[in-house]
Amino acid sequence: MKKILVTGGAGFIGSHLVDRLIKQGHKVVVIDNLSTGRKENLNPKAKFYKLDICLPKISEIFKKEKPQIVFHFAARIEARISVKDPLGDAKINILGSLNILENCRVFKVKKIVFASSGGEIYGDAKVIPTPEEYHSNPISPYGVAKLAVEKYLYSYLKLYNLPFLSLRLGNVYGPRQNPDGEAGIIAIFIKKMLSKKPVIIHGSGNQTKDYIFIEDAIDATVNLFKKSKTGIYNIATEKESSVLDIFKSLGNIIKESVKKKHIPMPSCGFKRGYLSIQKIKKEIGWQPKYDLDRGLKETVEWFRMTNKK
């Protein structure tokens, strides 16, 4: 059993991680400012602090709780908003992360696990599926911030001997994903379809991404952690699906015929992207269990049950 601090532990991915860590017997502390996270996502067995990661008061929690491991999952997650407000994005995603890193150093945390972005960090990659060693060239300030934090992690490893694990996640979807933001088209599409409202599609809809179900993403995360791995790993499916594929599949599952409205692609958009998972397969034998159809069905069912409450 370890004492683990999870930033963003009331959010979509973070709350699923907290559930799994507690199920495995760890003692978990959560920091979340609830700007996008939700109280109902919080595991009652976790100790919760409502606090922004940018604030100096973070050090009081580190001092009091003495975490051995930190999972840093708190972030502003929307790439398009980062284009409109790069300073705000950098404040949270770079300076907030540095605040966490500094406290890890000062309070001698044994390891930090960082939620990076395979969906944004590679940019408009020329190598598909994209491996971890590909020269990253992110387009959005959000992707730039994630890459910057990875460079800081490497720096802290070399300067202060703080081991790190960086998870370059594909486009994670599933229960608890917020359907009201600009990120996460699967949750957004499901909410629109269930309420019989038109779905907005950027560009032609032929652009592709690598969509991974939340249970698979958490399995990969905890298995890398249990195996004491360090460094950078893609966590994805090594399969690409277009926005139109998602729209059609969800329509078949929900059995609602809704209109789609095409609007221009955002400036940070790119045509094609999916990730190589050969490294994680080779090193720990992990591969996803959910195909897209199964994952979408479970996600739709969760949204349906939630709407009934």
Catalytic machinery residues? 142
Q: How deeply is 223 buried, as exposed, middle or buried, from its count of CB atoms within 10 A (0-12, 13-18, 19+)? A: middle
Q: Residue 23: which of 37, 4, 49 has the closest Cα?
A: 4
Distance CA 218, CA 77 (A): 18
Give the CA dihedral 223, 226, 229, 232, nearest 10 degrees. 40
Evaluate the CA torsion angle 127, 131, 133, 139 in order and state its sign: positive
Question: How far is CA 158 from each of CA 69, 96, 99, rounded to the nearest angstrom?
Answer: 18, 21, 18
Identify the bridge partners of residue 69 per DSSP, sorted by sequence position.
4, 111
Q: Residue 232: which of 133, 144, 84, 307 has the closest Cα?
A: 133
Distance CA 66, CA 63 (A): 6
Cα of 152 vs its chain's centroid, Å: 19
Cα of 120 vs its chain's centroid, Å: 11
Question: How far is CA 302 from each of CA 35, 47, 308, rounded to the nearest angstrom?
Answer: 22, 26, 10
C-alpha distance across the termini of the chain, in Å: 35
